[in-house]
Amino acid sequence: MSTPPTADNILQSPILIMAKRAALMRAQGRDVIDLTLGEPDFNAPPHVLEAAHAEVSGRLTYSPSNGIEPLRHAIRMRMKDIRNLDYADGQVTVGCGAKQIIYNAFQATLKSGDEVIVPAPYWASYPAMIKMCGARPLIVSTTREEGFRLTAEHLEAALRLAKSPKWVVLNAPGNPSGSLYSRKQLLAIAEVLRRYPGVMVLSDDIYSEIRYTNDPYQTLAAVAPDLRDRILIVDGVSKVYAMTGWRVGWGCGPTPLITAISSVQSQNCTQTSTLSQLAAVAALNGSQALVKERNAIYRQRRDSALSVLGACEAIDVACPEGAFYLLPRIRTIKDDQAFALILLEAGVATVPGSAFGIPGHLRLSFATDESILIAGCERLVQKIKASV
pLDDT digits (tens, 9 = 90+) for 116-138: 999 999 999 999 999 999 999 99
Range in 47-61, 83-97, 134-148, 153-167 the model is least confident about: 47-61
Q: Are the CB atoms for 352 and 336 separated by under 8 Å? A: yes
What pTM does this model have? 0.95
pLDDT the model gives residue 299: 98
Question: Is the model's pLDDT at 231 over the cut of 80?
Answer: yes
Instruction: Read off the pLDDT of each residue in 330-338 and give the average, rounded to a whole number.
Output: 94
Share of the chain above pLDDT 90, in %: 94
- The pLDDT-based confidence of 388 (bands split at 50, 70, 90) is low
Average per-residue pLDDT for the chain:
95
pLDDT the model gives residue 10: 58
- The pLDDT-based confidence of 14 (bands split at 50, 70, 90) is confident
Range in 11-25, 147-161, 192-206, 283-297 the model is least confident about: 11-25
Question: Is the model's pLDDT at 154 over the cut of 70?
Answer: yes
Question: Is the model's pLDDT at 382 over the cut of 80?
Answer: yes
pLDDT the model gives residue 89: 98
pLDDT the model gives residue 1: 45
Share of the chain above pLDDT 70, in %: 97
- Give ∠ CA 196-198-202 in degrees, rounded to 5: 95
In angstroms, rounded to a whole number, what is the distance separating the alpha carbons of residues 180 and 101?
22
pLDDT the model gives residue 387: 81
pLDDT the model gives residue 12: 77
